[in-house]
Amino acid sequence: MSAAGTGSHGGREASGAVVAVDVGGTTVKGMVRVGDVVLDRAVVPTLAPVAATDAHAAATDAAVGGPALAAVTAVVDRLAAAAAAAGHPLAAIGLCTPGVVDAETGTVVVAVNLDWHDLPLAGLLRDRYGVPVAVAHDARAAATAEIAARTAAGRDVAELVFIPIGTGVSASLVVDGRLVVGAAGGAGEVGHVCVRPGGEPCTCGQRGCVEVYASARNIRRRYRAAGGTIDGATEEIVAAVDADPVAAAVWADAVDALAAGIAILSAVLDPAVVVVGGGLGESGERLLAPLRAAVDARLGWRPAPRIEQSLAGAGAGLAGAALLARTAAQSTAAQSTAAQSTAAQSAPAPPAATTAAHGAEPTTDTAPPRTRRTP
């Protein structure tokens, strides 16, 4: 992108745009911001062909990372172009994705729903757009936004589990106020905890996982497989629970599976609060009330954690990705400033004063050398 290399890092931080991308199993969502102002948004299907401005680049993306990577770059292309049209160079990209993520290298180790395996996502995007790229697990990025929202509201953030429920189910674990990543970057994969031994097959290769019963996509799948007549979004099925017996049965299975996963996490981590977010988290008390009762019944011998709705809402993943991008832009700008300061300090001293022509007295620059301060 021509906009990617415009201006210095310092200029990028001050006036540049950051692109945030939330990769889901159904859609890839993105937004571009300058400061706190959202310039534009984009949504494309994750696994369906998307229109691209550069057909050759799109074909390359599809060959390397399949349709999901092509969808990501299509979103970034559109948003970077929107920023450039508004006079703002692209400063950084923040992206969150499901799966096992090595955030330090920006590699998606495995994301079964996207068919990604050892994909160097940050490197690919950095090479393409020429800006810093931060990649994180979607639940942890969403948790970052949730922690910010709860901190602003004066709510507890010391010991919590954050569970966004969308196409998949995952969790972010916060212990002593810090996000737990795990040895291989896979901490919090509660969606792939088996709660129904020998149950329905999961995309991860196991059977009976929480995600098979409790994710939005699988609630819809199971409802239709059971003969449900609502041909709409999961939210429509959930809204019909009181009147539709098929919806009620599928919903009860979802709540029970999710409660089993939360009970396991509670027994191991003893969190003060479990926060439910994502698209399905917007169901509010229709989900939370039966979920509290089911978790309490499973724990029994010990107090259950509080179960609350997310303050950051369904857009927490995208908000977290924007925070990642902003941090990446600021970090790069700070590193650039520090490097320039070091270069200025190590520059050779000016030559000694010399006698001017025609026998004039020697002149000396008595002003102290100027040194750039590093913020």
Stretch 282-303: mean pLDDT, rounded? 94
Q: Are strands 172-175 and 160-164 parallel, antiparallel or unpaired?
A: antiparallel
Measure the CA–CA gap between 34 and 86, rounded to whole angstroms: 10
Q: Are strands 160-164 and 273-277 parallel, antiparallel or unpaired?
A: parallel
**Rounded to 5 degrees, what are φ and ψ at 245?**
-60, -35
Percent of the chain at pLDDT > 70 equals 83
pLDDT-derived band at 15, boundaries 50, 70, 90: low
For the whole model, what pTM was predicted? 0.78
* pLDDT number for residue 1: 37
Structure confidence by residue, pLDDT tens digits, 48-99: 887 766 766 767 777 889 999 999 999 999 999 999 999 999 999 999 999 8
* pLDDT number for residue 361: 37
Report which of 106, 113, 94, 110 is spatially closest to residue 27, judged by C-alpha positions. 113
pLDDT-derived band at 229, boundaries 50, 70, 90: very high
Task: Decide: 82 and 132 in contact? Cβ < 8 Å.
Answer: no
Task: Decide: 241 and 222 in contact? Cβ < 8 Å.
Answer: no
Which strands make up the sheet holding 133-137, listed edge to edge? 37-45, 27-34, 17-23, 90-97, 133-137
* pLDDT number for residue 113: 85
Measure the CA–CA gap between 338 and 334, rounded to whole angstroms: 6
* pLDDT number for residue 53: 67
